[in-house]
Amino acid sequence: MSDKTIFEMIIDREIPSDIVYEDEQCICFRDISPQAPVHLLVVPKKRIVRIAEATSEDQAVLGHLMLTVQKVAQQEGFAEAGFRTVINNGPNGGEEVPHLHLHILAERQMLWPPG
């Protein structure tokens, strides 16, 4: 894999971000261009490029990311009101950063179908 992604630079503190949670496997920080009053990104420290390229070796970290969404939702106080978690994958999915991340959108009513 080539150059560092923007998210690896955030993990390595080479560029600033507003971090709300971190542990040995992942980090969660506020999206720089929020699409809801609360917009967080949960990112594995191991660079998995996208969900379509994850392998069975990634099973534990993928589960950890999901439980981190739950943990952050409780920590930030929007678990009960509800929220949306999104993974964009590839061109049609609207993926911009080739480093797996789970969006958490909260504190407004979400619509369906999504845009």
Q: How far is the CB of 96 from ligand 5GP (least distance, A)?
A: 4
- 29/83 with CB nearer ligand 5GP: 29
Q: How far is the CB of 5 from ligand 5GP (least distance, A)?
A: 9
Q: Of 88, 90, 92, nearest to 105 (Cα)?
A: 88
Binding stretches for ligand 5GP (CB under 6 A): 6, 17, 29-33, 41, 88, 94-97
- 19/79 with CB nearer ligand 5GP: 19
Question: CA angle, 21 as apex, 39 and 111 as ends, to 5°?
Answer: 20
Strands in 38-44's sheet, in edge-to-edge order, are: 19-22, 26-30, 38-44, 102-106, 83-86
39 flagged as catalytic: no
